[in-house]
Amino acid sequence: MAALTRLLLVGPPGVGKGTQAKRIADSLRVPHISTGDILRDAVKRATPVGLKAKEFMDSGGLVPDEVMIGIIEERFAAGDCAKGYILDGFPRTTPQAEALERLLERLKLPIEAAIQLDCSDAVVVERITGRRSCSNKACQATYHVEFLPPKNAGKCDRCSSPLEQRTDDALDAVKKRLEKFHRETSRILPYYEARKLLLVVDGKGTPDQVFAGIRRIAGF
């Protein structure tokens, strides 16, 4: 089987979509499209989209569909996805999935697989609330206070910048993000299942184990 290269990842917050998407992008040499990263960058730069998105993000809510669909249309207009892409964090609602399908049909780059990373709420809560990242944007190293601690508490091993916690990684926001996932995002699973595009990978193991599962299922 030829490797699948037009992919999206679906799973609860903290399951490791970002980590796995980066690895997939490196292996397949395709762009990693993370709507969370695009939004965080817009917030930092205080663009009109960033200003609109900030309060939804900080509280663990979802940014409105029309804003997100605009962002994704603009991203695909860059024209670098002919050999494939890995979508991380989009779509998160059924209207987003429908808009994406129409857009990719128009571009003749339809999704080949929606990969679900499956994991229990208890495991993702433990992972997310301990998550820390380097505050230096050029570095972006990530840590976990228990599973992957830095050598000096609160400081990046690579560049010594202070580590920070994402505002939406605090426990209350994490609970709300999980609730959103179960109430809204999980509805896109039957959407892709009905189109015979859904592939399920166990998201519980180490990053290496999960990546091996993805490679097996996507044939690369």
- Enumerate binding residues for ligand AMP (CB under 6 A): 13, 35-36, 39, 56-57, 60-63, 68, 89-92, 96, 168, 177
When the beta carbons of 56 and 220 are compared against ligand AMP, the nearer one is: 56
Rounded to a whole number of angstroms, the minimum distance from the CB of residue 13 to ligand AMP is 5
From the number of C-beta atoms within 10 Å of its C-beta (0-12, 13-18, 19+), residue 210 rates as buried
CB closest to ligand AMP, residue no:
36
* Beta-strand pair 131-134/163-164: antiparallel
Rounded to a whole number of angstroms, the minimum distance from the CB of residue 141 to ligand AMP is 16
The amino acid that residue 43 corresponds to is: V
When the beta carbons of 16 and 60 are compared against ligand AMP, the nearer one is: 60
The kind and range of the H/E element at 125 are helix 121-129
Catalytic positions are 17, 92, 131, 166, 177
Q: How far is the C-alpha of 84 from the C-alpha of 34, rounded, in Å? A: 14
Rounded to a whole number of angstroms, the minimum distance from the CB of residue 216 to ligand AMP is 24
Rounded to a whole number of angstroms, the minimum distance from the CB of residue 152 to ligand AMP is 26
Where on the phi/psi map is residue 79: left (φ > 0), alpha (ψ -120 to 50), or beta?
left
Match 């929606």 to its residue by tokens.
114
When the beta carbons of 36 and 84 are compared against ligand AMP, the nearer one is: 36
When the beta carbons of 103 and 155 are compared against ligand AMP, the nearer one is: 103
Structure tokens at 199: 């592939």
